[in-house]
């Protein structure tokens, strides 16, 4: 514990000296919350990245989040504390595969989830997050929408639009493993609890939910709901964040760990700041095209 406090102090001092900002995703370890300048969901973090005046951004999250920060801030140094912090779902489609898919569906617009590489964003018309996916799809004039890479989010979006959603068959290993049975059992154990579910979860799970939303939406919902207990169908770390943000209510995790998010720790954050590694780089040609997809989303989502 003393060592932990020492590391936290060292990080905070170095952060000040280097004019760095630390952005932290909700799924991160609670100890990482302690060094954060900003904690949030993917959309909040993208917005925070556009608003910071810092010279360095240390991203405590996974690769596509840090990459989005770099796309929006080319003049800043964006660091990912460890190369293990990747998102396997984002790696389930690449630019070549998307180009081929687009040829098979001429006339369809391409909406990419923010959980994608810069190259895939560059091949897309607009980006979305778990918070705004339905709104983004409905903002487009096209009747057919290619939606990549998450098939579960695509199925959820299909319930929110009359357009035809053409999904890519990617998935998140943490959310795809949530079983309807687990939710039913949890409801038996906690009959007064409401179920809140992330839209990366399978449809059988979403059907059992009282509310479907991204991680940021879960905090808002838990605060305003009359319920005092919640079964949380998303990465288990979210319950730590909910407990801090909504004291006095109870949260029960219904999903496992995202080992990729949890690869970030105090030691590698310190090393990252100290040695200014691992620097995120995006080729300028790709960055400009990917930025268009992110900017279009932010124009719709900021107001």
Site residues (vs ligand 13P, CB under 6 A) = 26, 41-42, 115, 129-130, 172, 200, 214-215
Find the binder of ligand SF4 among 261, 268, 272, 301 (CB under 6 A).
261
Helices and strands (H, E) in the chain, number of each type? 14, 12
What are the structure tokens assigned to 124, written together? 């897309």
Question: In which residue are the tokens 């000296």 written?
Answer: 17
Q: Pick from 28, 68, 115, 129: which binds ligand SF4 (CB under 6 A)?
A: 115
Could you give the string, one character per residue 209-248, with x where binding to ligand SF4 holds by CB under 6 A and - elsewhere?
--------------------------x-------------
CB nearer to ligand 13P: give 119 or 235: 235
Give the SS3 label for residue 175. Answer: coil
Residue 26 touches which of ligand SF4, ligand 13P, none (Cβ within 5-8 Å per kind): ligand 13P
**Which residue's CB is nearer to ligand 13P, number 152 or number 163?**
152
Helix (H, G, I), strand (E, B) or coil at 76: coil
Residue 174's contacts (CB-CB under 8 Å, 6 or more residues apart) are: 200, 234, 235, 255, 256, 257, 258
**Which tokens belong to 155?**
């199925």
Query: Please, what is the Cα angle at 117 between 111 and 122, to 5 degrees?
Result: 55
39-78 positions binding ligand SF4, by CB under 6 A:
62
Among 260, 268, 272, 301, binds ligand SF4 (CB under 6 A): 260
Picked from ligand 13P, ligand SF4, none, the partner binding residue 260 (CB below 5 to 8 A depending on kind) is ligand SF4
- Phi then psi for residue 71, to 5 deg, are -60, -40
What are the phi and psi torsion angles at 22 (to 5°)?
A: -115, 115
Which residues in this chain contact ligand SF4 in the complex, by CB under 6 A?
A: 62, 87-89, 115, 172-174, 200, 235, 258, 260-261
């Amino acid at each position: 514990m003393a060592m932990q406090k020492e590391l936290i102090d060292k990080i905070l001092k170095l952060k000040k000296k280097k004019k760095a900002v630390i952005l932290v995703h909700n799924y991160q370890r609670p100890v990482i919350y302690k060094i954060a300048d900003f904690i949030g969901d993917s959309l909040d973090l993208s917005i925070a990245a556009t608003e910071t005046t810092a010279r360095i951004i240390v991203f405590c999250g996974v690769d596509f989040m840090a990459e989005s920060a770099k796309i929006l801030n080319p003049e800043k140094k964006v660091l990912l504390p460890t190369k293990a912090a990747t998102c396997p779902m984002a790696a389930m489609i690449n630019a070549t595969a998307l180009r081929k898919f687009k040829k098979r569906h001429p006339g369809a617009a391409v909406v990419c989830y923010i959980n994608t590489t810069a190259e895939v964003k560059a091949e897309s018309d607009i980006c979305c997050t778990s918070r705004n996916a339905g709104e983004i799809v409905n903002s487009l004039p096209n009747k057919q929408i290619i939606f990549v890479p998450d098939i579960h989010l695509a199925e959820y979006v299909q319930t929110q639009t009359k357009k035809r959603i053409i999904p890519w068959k990617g998935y998140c290993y943490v959310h795809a493993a949530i079983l309807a049975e687990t939710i039913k059992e949890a409801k038996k154990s906690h009959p007064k609890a409401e179920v809140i579910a992330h839209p990366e979860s399978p449809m059988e799970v979403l059907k059992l939910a009282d509310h479907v939303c991204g991680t940021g939406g879960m905090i808002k919902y838990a605060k305003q709901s009359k319920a005092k207990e919640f079964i949380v169908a998303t990465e288990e770390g979210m319950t730590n964040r909910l407990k801090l943000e909504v004291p006095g209510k109870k949260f029960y995790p219904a999903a496992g760990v995202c080992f990729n998010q949890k690869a970030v720790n105090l030691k590698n954050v310190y090393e990252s700041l100290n040695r200014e590694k691992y620097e995120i780089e995006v080729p300028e040609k790709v960055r400009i095209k990917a930025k268009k997809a992110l900017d279009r989303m932010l124009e719709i989502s900021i107001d």
